[in-house]
Amino acid sequence: MNGWRFAVSRRWFGYLALAVVFSIVCVGLSNWQVNRLKETTAANDLVDRNYASAPRAVKAVLPTLTSFRASQQWVQVRLTGRYLRDEQMLVRNRPLNGQPGFEVLNPLLLDDGTVFVVDRGYVPVGNKHDAPDSIPEPRSGTVSVVVHLQASEPVLAGRSGANGQLATIHLPELAKLVDRPTYTGAYGLMVSETPAAKTRPAAMPKPVLDEGLHISYAIQWVLFGVMAFLGLGYAIRQEYRMRNADDPEERERSDERARRKAERPRTDDEIEDEILESSRR
């Protein structure tokens, strides 16, 4: 009888090392999914906490032009001023409900002489696909606008605007274009304005509060790590049976397994396989 001595070899230690490395990777990926779940939950909590907040004066929320904290995203603020109608800008590659389009930015000149960038909403691509067919005009004169605060977006490497359009809402760059004292910590998604324009771009929808499948993926990665060791144990067991096939005790166990297999009812798949095999003869 050869026994289990074969398992104490460089080859099987190598397989064990591979299983350990694979399991470590699986645990790391599982932890990554757990962290993604925490981030998603925190983002959802932020929307729940701030989205329906009572509008406050912009100076009370953002005391300086560069003020903004991540915890202030979706907070509502009220602004009073007039749109700089000649300095309207489009942000390209902004889909809504699966349809490509643009977001319309209008600098709002406040009563104190500073500028706050208002995202008035979405317009779809036009017939030429590089610009909308039409853009609803902003209201002239003094307006009172309520917005949801959003952080300035980063510059994306390799992406730039075309035809005077913007690739991202990077407020320091917009401030250079406006050439006035401009809020660069945050901009606002328009909720409402008074008096309202006759028409406006489509309002940006409230984020969908969905935690996704992160916890399911985390559990799956742990199971994959466990399966690596189960597979290793199965492979060792199969080689043990092959190496000890002539041993009387192992032969007896093999006969017992064959007997139990013969006694159990055949599955439909096994019957179909048997019929197909017979037809090929």
Separation of alpha carbons 189 and 205, rounded Å? 10
Question: Phi first, then psi: what are they for 238, rounded to 5°?
Answer: -65, -40
Q: Which of 131, 139, 11, 149 shows the shortest CA–CA distance to 75?
A: 149
Domain residue ranges of the chain, discontinuous segments joined by +:
1-49+210-252, 52-194
Spell out the alpha helix ranges (H) of 68-200: 171-178
> Do residues 51 and 31 lie in contact, with contact meaning Cβ atoms separated by under 8 Å?
no
Tokens 């992160």 belong to residue: 214
pLDDT interval class at 110 (50, 70, 90): very high
Provide CB contacts within 8 A for 214, sequence distance 6+: 33, 34, 36, 37, 40
Higher pLDDT, 77 or 7: 77
Task: Tell me the per-residue pLDDT of 159-201, one tens digit each, with 9 for 90 and over.
Answer: 665 666 898 999 999 999 888 999 999 999 999 999 988 899 9
Q: What is the pTM of this model?
A: 0.71
pLDDT band at 114 (very low <50, low <70, confident <90, very high): very high
Question: What are the tens digits of pLDDT across the range 115-160?
Answer: 999 999 999 988 876 788 889 999 899 999 999 999 999 987 766 6
What are 140's two structure tokens? 């002239």
Of the candidates 226, 267, 253, 182, which has an alpha carbon nearest to the alpha carbon of residue 20? 226
Neighbours of 97 (CB within 10 A): 9
What CATH number belongs to 52-194?
Answer: 2.40.50
DSSP 145: E
Report pLDDT for 265. Answer: 72
What is the tens place of the pLDDT at every residue in 249-270? 767 776 666 667 666 776 666 6
Residue 78 forms beta bridges with which residues? 57, 146
Distances in Å between the Cα of 107 and the Cα atoms of 69, 112, 133, 138, 279 are: 21, 14, 21, 10, 78
Token digits of residue 1? 């009888």
pLDDT in tens, 197-222: 889 999 988 888 888 889 899 999 99
